[in-house]
Structure 1
């Protein structure tokens, strides 16, 4: 599946080589101050990811190593499909901090669930506050219907399986324990909200750097829709799937094709490609010091 998506993405890039070249040239002439702001937002995403991860567990985690682990997880996430790289790095980190494998996996699931819920809620709030942010709003009821069907299927599977019921019961107990502390709950949900908004902010800053006059609400909604769609395809770091979805979403919001490509390239450059080498170095350093 991953190989098929990557091959398809390569074919699309080859077919639109001229658009890609034009987008690259436009990004090279972008406003440096807005790009610097996008860089700062990117760095802040790793801190917010660390805050959310701390909120998902009861035990106090070492702050410096926790932030470093999120930075390393970002790099690892671009090497393995469907977020497996980040999950493995954080799982190893939590077990090294003394948590059992089950509780570490539950903490990762709680953090991932909080992130998904935050994206959905932000999308609904933005849609209600600015209905024009989604040009294809007529399809929203169908999307919600399919989402409800998927949730019902998951609930039915959990109820039908005794083992899944036990696992779900243990996860619910851990979630309750986390939410008994207001500070932990604020860290989990606040970190998740900030993480999502900062990633959207990177896209907004890159769009402004390209001098593209799009409403901020449209750009944020484009990111939320694209990141949600990319989660359905198991590619490393959303490579190909997120790129195509974000470019299409920005184009649907009113951006010219080559400018949408420039915005996607800028977002990818700041959040994935530039941090890749230093992130892998940090990953190796953490492993050498037995933090992973």
Structure 2
């Protein structure tokens, strides 16, 4: 966003968002907390929702781009690249776009409303990309999020003495996180875990080691931050920040 937000409360809200994300599926919990936070900062609901949608789209593009670069860099890993079907994400995305386009084409009021929303989104995106610091924050943040999560998984794999190249683990994480979107669960529980075990096994890790690595990754990125996240969520709600 082009507006400056209170940094301390913004960071605290992300701890609360992580905790809420373990309660509601498909990132709804985190989105609801962030939406509430932005509206409490004085932004309209429409602009807040637009900012969250832009962030989600940028995160997806970054992960897709990283996965494409890695697949080109390691063409000798066909098992990993074919573990998740190439059209597994394309089919639902194309289907949703087709349904939305048909609905817009059949409804004149809906066309006008979609046009207004699209113009507002483009205005906000141009405003954010007109400042170098905001561009770095958006795309650098999305890149850092993916790389840091993958770094935790790589560290756990290394701690288990599993001889899988770091690049292959990174690719396994990117493919698994993309496939987990197809089965939205609270915090990716179950869907991301199964996809990670599958992709790590395809990357060359033994099945038991892959399962242990996923449990360690989940412990560090999900369960340990959960309690402080719930405490921060309760504190922010009590202080009317959320």
Q: Judge same fold: TM > 0.5, yes or no.
A: yes
Distance 1:68 1:155, change over 3 A: same
Distance (Å, rounded) in 1 between the aligned partners of 2:168 and 2:161: 15
Instruction: Give the 3-state SS of the residue equivalent to 1:86 in structure 2.
Output: helix
CA drift at 1:133: 4.1
Q: Residue 74 of structure 1: which of 18, 21, 25 is its match?
A: 18
Whether 1:192 aligns to 2:137 is: no
Unpaired runs of at least 5, structure 2: none
Aligned to 2:98: 153
| TM-score, normalised by the number of residues in structure 2 | 0.90
Cα offset, 1:60, TM superposition: 0.6
Deviation at 1:146, TM superposition (A): 3.7
Aligned in 2, Cα 1:221/1:157: closer, same or farther, shift over 3 Å? farther
Q: Which runs of 5+ in 1 are unaligned?
A: 1-56
Question: Structure 2 matches for 1:43-54, cutoff 5 A?
Answer: none
Distance in 2 between the 1:194 and 1:64 partners?
Answer: 19
CA distance in 2, matches of 1:287, 1:237: 21
Distance 1:197 1:289, change over 3 A: same
Once residues 167 and 226 of structure 1 are traced to their aligned partners in structure 2, the CA distance between those partners, rounded to angstroms, is: 32
1:103 counterpart residue number: 47
Q: Contact 1:133/1:221 (CA < 8 Å) preserved in 2?
A: no
Could you tell me the TM-score, scaled by structure 1's length? Answer: 0.76
3-state SS of the aligned residue for 1:132? Answer: coil
Encode CA deviations 1:147-190: one digit per residue, 9 max, x unaligned: 77358537735863412232222112211111111111111001
Q: Report deviation, 1:144.
A: 7.6
Deviation of residue 137 (structure 1)?
3.6
Q: Do the aligned partners of 2:172 and 2:200 also contact (CA within 8 Å) in 1?
A: yes
1:25 matched to which residue of 2? none
1:215-241 CA-partner distances (Å, limit 9, x unpaired) = 111101110011011112121000000
* Counterpart Cα distance in 2 of 1:122 and 1:159: 33
Matched-pair contact (CA < 8 Å) for 2:150–2:169: yes
Q: Secondary structure at the match of 1:250?
A: helix
- Whole-angstrom distance in 1 between the partners of 2:46 and 2:93: 28
Deviation at 1:109, TM superposition (A): 0.5
For 2:48 and 2:76, how far apart are their aligned partners in 1? 41
How many residues matched?
A: 236
Higher helix share: 1
- Separation in structure 2 between the aligned mates of residue 291 and residue 244 of structure 1, nearest angstrom: 36
- Extract structure 1 runs of 4+ deviating beyond 6 A: none
Tell me the residue number matched to 2:162: 212
Asked if 1 retains the 8 angstrom alpha-carbon contact of 2:80 and 2:203, the reply is no
Q: How far 1:120 sits from its partner (Å)?
A: 0.4
